[in-house]
């Protein structure tokens, strides 16, 4: 299953058939504001808002809405996200807009008739995988606290795109090519995205009047128009009458949803402060664990072209992900040893098991200070998701990761937007060896996520770098790798996110095809690793502070762009 999920990720996020030949984009330098997203139309929406005098938060929300229209395979108002915002000269705020399970959900939600976990492809399509969407409540909280423009103004670019139409990108076409095989059972999405029985082709013009109507309603009446009334009813009807896996979601579930401000998770690396989102995101904790285990090694001296560097990164990755699977979940439901997992002494002890000369071979979770007995269990998380950043002329920095989970989420549409399949991010088996799993399904719970919106600060406390990514559980590694590339290897934002990646399947290291890593395969194998080479669908966005001001960057693998105000 894991191999198939990696292949799916690569298919959905790779913008070209020849993945080894990425799209070339120049980074955008900013004497004033900048934006970066995974789609040019969304970036333009963000720039439009900045030019109208909007804040970075306003630009972020406008991009989230625009991506609902032009990148429906990845994100939108039918899903959720995490928002990290550094106010100029002020407080760092992290807001959780992660989807929630219906109140009636139980731990056996994704078990089949024989009590065995369903496969992802059995569980994802249809209503049972749909979580209560969080992005509009997140947007309302963000706008109330940090917005400068009227609420309604943020919807204008997205409404225009939905009404006037947009052309299909190669990533969107690739996503449709994969999942449209099941659309015969899902008439609404088939009607929107197929012509003469075939998915709309790359370059075709698509209009979405139903989505334009929904966006106008929310723009006019505010966020409650999403969580109550006709939009909420459309969500409930679509999910509960789904032809596959009908849901138990209710109008009460939607009306009760609230976004939450969470304490940020921060740590240090090479004199820099690195901050991100806490649970139910596993991003910041796992990124900090990887960096913490690498800190005793001279990664700068080793360099990006040294197989030992990637061996060490691989070892830290495997150990950190082992902790992730065992301890992390929704902190409203399970006790998480957050301080222990990022404790310098604990990470140093974990690091001391890593040798620069030989692979460990076995990668088990440690016992961080404050940990309660827990059973490790692998969680599912597949391709989808998008990331976008904005910096305004005042110096506010926003970075957000948004998702509907897999390609086109649950394959259900309501009001023209895709409903997420986010509940398949729960671990399907509620217990293992008689002990409970931290990320098991529970009513009202938010599933564990790998989304990792991150801001880096220099020794003076100034934000100097921000990054986030898409691509399921590879997100954590994309962010960690970008930070190593930027801080240790001196790469600028675009080069750091464009640098090749090492990931894993079981204990096998996967080197990203079409990058500088595959030629290192024999040397890494000589250190005791099993190694394979594969396409990894990666898609990151970043920005960095330079002497000329902020510079935005989009992943050279993607169709995204960074724009200056």
CB distance 152 to 159 below 8 Å? no
Helix, strand, coil distribution of the chain in percent, nearest 5: 35, 20, 45
The sheet that has 502-505: what strands, in order across it? 502-505, 508-512, 531-534
As to burial, measured by CB atoms within 10 angstroms (0-12 exposed, 13-18 middle, 19+ buried), residue 526 is middle
Report cis status (omega within 30 of 0) of the bond before 280.
yes
CA–CA–CA angle 445, 451, 455 (5° rounding):
125
Q: Does 385 qualify as catalytic in the annotation?
A: yes
H helices of 328-473, in order, are 338-341, 344-351
Q: Residue 559, Cα to own-chain centre: how many angstroms? A: 17
The sign of the CA dihedral 159, 164, 211, 78 is negative
SS (H, E, C) 14-56: CCCCCCCCCCCCCCEEECCCEEEECCHHHHHHHHHHHHCCCCH
CB distance 35 to 562 below 8 Å? yes
CB distance 249 to 242 below 8 Å? no
Alpha carbon distances (Å) from 496 to 13, 218, 292, 492: 18, 38, 19, 6
Among residues 9, 385, 401, 454, the one annotated as catalytic is 385
CB distance 80 to 97 below 8 Å? yes
Query: What one-character DSSP code corresponds to residue 132?
Result: B
Residue with tokens 């301080």: 339
CB distance 511 to 533 below 8 Å? yes
Buried b (16+ CB within 10 A) or exposed e, 448-461: bbbbbbbbbbeeee
The pair of structure tokens assigned to 249 is: 């979601």
Q: What are the catalytic residues?
A: 385
């Amino acid at each position: 299953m894991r191999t198939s999920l990696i292949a799916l990720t690569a298919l959905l996020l790779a913008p070209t058939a020849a993945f080894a030949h990425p799209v070339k984009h120049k980074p955008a330098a900013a004497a004033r504001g900048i934006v970066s997203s995974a789609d040019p139309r969304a970036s333009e929406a963000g720039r439009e808002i900045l030019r109208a005098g909007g804040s970075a938060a306003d630009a972020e929300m406008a991009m989230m809405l625009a991506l609902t229209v032009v990148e429906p395979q990845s994100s939108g108002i039918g899903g959720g996200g995490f928002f990290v915002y550094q106010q100029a000269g002020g407080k760092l705020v992290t807001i959780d807009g992660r989807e929630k399970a219906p109140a009636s959900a139980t731990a056996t939600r994704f078990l089949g008739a024989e009590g065995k976990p369903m496969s992802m492809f059995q569980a994802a399509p249809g209503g049972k995988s749909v979580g209560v969407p969080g992005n509009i409540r997140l947007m309302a909280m963000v706008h109330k606290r940090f917005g400068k423009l009227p609420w309604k103004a943020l919807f204008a670019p997205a409404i225009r795109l939905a009404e006037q139409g947009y052309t299909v990108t190669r990533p969107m076409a690739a996503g449709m090519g994969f999942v449209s095989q099941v659309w015969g059972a899902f008439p609404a999405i088939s009607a929107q995205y197929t012509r003469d029985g075939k998915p709309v082709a790359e370059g075709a013009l698509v209009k979405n009047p139903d989505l334009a109507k929904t966006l106008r309603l929310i723009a006019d009446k505010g966020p409650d128009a999403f969580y109550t009334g006709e939009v909420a009813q459309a969500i409930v009807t679509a999910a509960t009458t789904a032809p596959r896996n009908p849901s138990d979601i209710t109008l009460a579930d939607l009306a009760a949803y609230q976004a939450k401000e969470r304490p940020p998770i921060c740590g240090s690396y090479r004199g820099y402060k690195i901050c991100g989102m806490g649970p139910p995101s596993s991003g910041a904790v796992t990124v900090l664990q990887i960096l913490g285990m690498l800190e005793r090694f001279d990664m700068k001296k080793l360099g990006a072209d040294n197989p030992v560097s990637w061996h060490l990164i691989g070892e830290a990755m495997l150990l950190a992900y082992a902790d992730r699977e065992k301890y992390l979940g929704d902190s409203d439901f399970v006790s998480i040893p957050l301080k222990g997992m990022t404790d310098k002494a604990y990470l140093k002890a974990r690091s001391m098991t890593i040798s620069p000369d030989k692979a460990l071979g076995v990668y088990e979770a440690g016992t961080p200070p404050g940990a309660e007995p827990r059973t490790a269990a692998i969680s599912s998380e597949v391709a989808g998701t998008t990331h976008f950043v904005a910096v305004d002329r005042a110096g506010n920095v926003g970075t957000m990761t948004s998702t509907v989970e897999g390609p086109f989420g649950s394959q259900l549409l309501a009001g023209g937007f895709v409903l997420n399949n986010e509940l398949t991010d729960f671990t399907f088996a509620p217990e293992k060896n008689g002990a409970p799993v931290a990320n098991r399904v529970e009513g009202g719970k938010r599933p564990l996520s790998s989304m990792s919106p991150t801001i880096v600060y220099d020794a003076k406390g100034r934000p100097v770098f921000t990054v986030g990514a898409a691509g399921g559980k590879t997100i954590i590694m994309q962010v960690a790798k970008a930070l190593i590339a930027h801080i240790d290897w001196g790469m600028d934002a675009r080069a750091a996110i464009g640098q090749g990646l090492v990931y894993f399947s079981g204990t096998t290291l996967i080197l990203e095809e079409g990058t500088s890593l595959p030629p290192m395969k024999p040397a890494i194998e000589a250190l005791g690793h099993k190694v394979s080479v594969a396409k990894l669908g990666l898609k990151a966005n970043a920005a960095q502070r330079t002497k000329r001001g902020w510079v935005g960057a989009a992943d050279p693998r993607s169709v995204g762009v960074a724009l200056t105000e």
